[in-house]
Structure 1
């Protein structure tokens, strides 16, 4: 995890009910992905208009996730062009090919015993 996002898990642990909004100049889909994986709830670009920022804060306070539309469009386009999700995108360790292979081997072994 990048140092930029390293504090997010600690904040979420210390303040479990808090929503974290990142207000940034970074239009990098990698930064967006890393921030979301770290636990941020919303990600807006600093170019957001003040009325949109206020609307976004209200949405966040109501439990919604808000991401700058331009950046979300780039992120979705990049995600769709990948043939398969990368291991880094999956928060579930059992989706890792090594775990799937082990699970499959256990299943075959169990079937053989019964």
Structure 2
């Protein structure tokens, strides 16, 4: 049973998500919160597995809330729910440890899939805005917030693994990677797990940032 906390300052959204998620046999909503401070209180009372986190909330926004929660509860997965004009907020939330970035207005099936994905240890970025997020990763690559990978770990990567990393750099989903490289989705998932272990990276988000920083696509193409 996946325990979910819903954080949104709009009552209608909180109620709607609560009804839908509680109707599922594999999920339960532990709490709902209207602002960041309330989120933290709820987490201390009932530690959830996944938080659906609105970005713009009163008293404390979703970015600051994400930072505080991940410092004390690193095991909690956080999915940021946002609109197109929230790019900078989401970039910082991902930097602080959020596992997902989803647009408000996605279908419930997509949102449920995202919850399951991050619960199982993967990152989830809405394909429609992956390119926009990666632009922020590019900016990050020019700054001091770099992700380091040891040269000897990079040398262990196979040709296929490099191709998969290049696809991640483009913002491709597992389904798209499978299609582009003529692999099954299960095989892609296994490859990604192996890649993360080899490079000692936390999740797909860190892999994408590192891929942009090191210009992996150029390396694969040459």
TM bin, normalised by shorter chain, reads: 0.5 to 0.7
Is 1:8 equivalent to 2:66 in the alignment? Answer: yes
User: d(CA) in 2 for partners of 1:57 and 1:79?
Assistant: 23
Tell whether 2:124 aligns with 1:66.
yes
Query: TM-score scaled to structure 1, two decimals?
Result: 0.62
Q: Say which one has the larger Rg.
A: 1
Residue of structure 2 aligned with 1:22, choices 80, 89, 98: 80
The more displaced of 13-22 and 27-36 is 27-36
Question: Which structure's relative contact order is higher, taking Cα pairs within 8 Å and 6+ residues apart?
Answer: 1
Segments of structure 2 that go 5 or more residues without pairing to the other structure are: 1-59, 149-222
State the alpha-carbon separation in 1 of the partners of residues 85 and 125 from structure 2.
11
Note the C-alpha offset of 1:51: 0.6
Indicate if the aligned counterparts of 1:27 and 1:45 stay in contact, CA closer than 8 A.
no
Q: Which residue is equivalent to 1:39?
A: 97
Paired residue for 2:17?
none
Unaligned runs of 5+ in 1: 93-114
The structure-2 alpha-carbon separation of the partners of 1:13 and 1:66, relative to structure 1 and needing over 3 Å to count, comes to same
Aligned length: 88
CA distance in 2, matches of 1:64, 1:46: 20
Q: Give the structure with the larger strand fraction.
A: 2
What TM-score, normalized by structure 2, do the two folds share? 0.34
Q: 1:67 to 1:27 in 2, by over 3 A?
A: farther
Give the match's secondary structure for 2:98. Answer: coil
After superposition, where does 1:85-100 map in structure 2 within 5 Å? Answer: 85-87=141-143, 89-90=145-146
Aligned alpha-carbon RMSD (Å): 2.6
